[in-house]
């Protein structure tokens, strides 16, 4: 078991002929992901790494039965790509693109409410279930199959922590990068819920950062709804107010959005909160009784 993507995933790559799309399609294929189609408007009928390319998502779905998509489309066109995917009945959509306007994302988020679909991202590294499926730009070499679920707003911080887990011999069920933008398709709570239901996941690592209050909402959820132990880490204690720290969503703007407030909420909910990435792996080992 894993969450969101597994061996039944039939993946479509939107923007497959672009630089990033092409590069990561190759890597996903190497990981054994079942990539069934690509879409680049105007390049329908071509072949990319043996994958058929279509002009439209609807055309690709009709021919190949794709049920998940990953988006590498530039920011001005990315929201449209998500709409297109949603309208073609995709179940899981990972939007890797960074820099989509917030207003575009509010409209996308609104529309998702009318569909049975899960959007991961944007501005995220995607989803990887080690040994099962890779719908991501994550470096798969650092992963190893196991029982720890990882959910994070940051890419490299996820890699850092996954690497420390792997080095300690602790494997991962699925790693989900939910994205660093202010408006994202799926927040901590929905992913935590999926991990809670996943029989294979025995512990969850949640990696948050400054900006918004998603960590506080997650803390309440963990306290009230979860039996699976959760280890958390928050980045950005030294971030000054009003400055965007790399991710569009990582900005301190009021009391709730600080790292202190988030850590306090997590500890208040009885969640193990680490003070640095290495400590995360220690706390996970402790939670798993190793």
Partner 1 sequence: MDLYEYQGKELLRSYGLETLPGVVAGTPEEAARAAETLGGTVAVKAQVLIGGRGKAGGIAVVHNATEAREAAERILGMDIRGHTVRRVYVEGGAEIEKEYYLSITVDRAAKRPLILFSTEGGVDIEEVAETKPEAIVRTHVDPLLGLLPYQVREIVFSAGLTGDAAKGVGRTLNSLYKAFEGLDASLVEINPLVLTKDGHVLTLDSKVTVDDSSLYRHTDIADLHDVEAADPQEQRAQEVGLQYVKLDGNVGILGNGAGLVMSTLDVVAQAGGKPANFCDVGGGADAEKISTALDIVTSNEQVESVLFNIFGGITRGDEVARGLLSAIERTGIELPIVVRLDGTNAEEGRRILAENTPDNVHTEETMLDAARRAVELARGTRDSDGGR
Which residues are catalytic, by number? 247
Write down the least CB distance from residue 101 to partner 1, Å: 4
By the 10 Å C-beta count (0-12 exposed, 13-18 middle, 19+ buried), 35 is classed as: buried
Instruction: Give helix 188-197 / helix 214-225 axis angle, nearest 10°.
Output: 30
Question: Is the CB of 50 or the CB of 240 nearer to partner 1?
Answer: 240
Write down the least CB distance from residue 112 to partner 1, Å: 9
Judged by CB under 8 A, the number of residues near partner 1 is: 64
Strand 35-39 to strand 272-274: parallel, antiparallel, or no bridges (unpaired)?
unpaired
- Select from 2, 69, 121, 153 the one that contacts partner 1 (CB under 8 A): 153
The C-alpha atoms of residue 165 and residue 37 are separated, in whole angstroms, by 34
The C-alpha atoms of residue 101 and residue 86 are separated, in whole angstroms, by 18
Write down the least CB distance from residue 195 to partner 1, Å: 20
Distances (CA, A) of 159 to 54, 196, 284: 33, 22, 16
Q: Considering the rule CB under 8 A, would residue 14 count as an interface residue with partner 1?
A: no
Q: Which of 40, 184, 177 is nearest to 104 (CA)?
A: 184
Phi and psi based region of residue 119 (left: phi greater than 0; alpha: psi -120 to 50; beta: remaining): beta
Question: Is the CB of 54 or the CB of 233 nearer to partner 1?
Answer: 233
DSSP string, 173-195: EEEEE--SSSS-SS-HHHHHHHH
- Select from 48, 247, 262, 272 the one that contacts partner 1 (CB under 8 A): 247
Q: Considering the rule CB under 8 A, would residue 25 count as an interface residue with partner 1?
A: no
127-147 CB burial, b ≥16 within 10 A, e <16: bbbbbbbbbbbbebebbbebb
Q: Considering the rule CB under 8 A, would residue 277 count as an interface residue with partner 1?
A: yes
Q: Considering the rule CB under 8 A, would residue 155 count as an interface residue with partner 1?
A: yes
Which structure tokens are listed for 225? 């709804």
Q: Which stretch binds partner 1 (CB under 8 A): 55-63, 80-88, 211-219, 281-289?
A: 211-219
- Select from 141, 199, 227, 289 the one that contacts partner 1 (CB under 8 A): 141
- Select from 32, 47, 243, 267 the one that contacts partner 1 (CB under 8 A): 243
Binding site for partner 1 (CB under 8 A): 27, 75-76, 99-103, 105-107, 109-111, 137-139, 141-142, 152-160, 163, 180, 182-183, 187, 207, 209-214, 217, 233, 235-240, 242-250, 254-255, 259, 275-278
């Amino acid at each position: 078991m894993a969450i969101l993507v597994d061996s039944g995933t039939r993946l479509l790559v939107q923007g497959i002929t672009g630089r990033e799309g092409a590069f990561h399609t190759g890597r996903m294929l190497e990981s054994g992901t079942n990539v069934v189609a690509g879409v680049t408007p105007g390049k329908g009928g071509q072949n990319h790494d043996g994958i058929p390319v279509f002009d439209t998502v609807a055309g690709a779905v009709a021919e190949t039965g794709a049920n998940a998509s990953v988006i590498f489309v530039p920011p001005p066109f990315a929201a449209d790509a998500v709409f297109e995917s949603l309208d073609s009945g995709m179940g899981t959509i990972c939007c890797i693109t960074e820099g989509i306007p917030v207003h575009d994302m509010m409209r996308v988020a609104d529309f998702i409410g009318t569909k049975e679909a899960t959007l991961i991202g944007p501005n995220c590294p995607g989803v990887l279930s080690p040994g099962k499926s890779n719908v991501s730009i994550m470096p798969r070499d650092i992963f190893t199959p196991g029982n720890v679920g990882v959910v994070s707003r940051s890419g490299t911080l996820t890699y850092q922590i996954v690497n420390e887990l792997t080095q300690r011999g602790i494997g991962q069920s699925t790693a989900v990068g939910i994205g660093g933008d202010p408006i994202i398709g799926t927040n901590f709570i929905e992913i935590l819920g999926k991990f809670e239901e996943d029989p294979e996941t025995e512990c969850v690592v949640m990696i948050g950062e400054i900006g918004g209050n998603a960590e506080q909402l997650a803390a309440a959820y963990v306290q009230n709804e979860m039996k699976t132990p959760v280890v958390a880490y928050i980045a950005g204690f030294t971030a000054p107010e009003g400055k965007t720290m790399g991710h569009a969503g990582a900005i301190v703007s009021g009391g709730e959005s600080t790292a202190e407030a988030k850590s306090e909420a997590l500890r208040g909910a009885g969640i193990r909160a680490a003070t640095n990435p290495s400590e995360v792996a220690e706390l996970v080992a402790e939670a798993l009784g190793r």
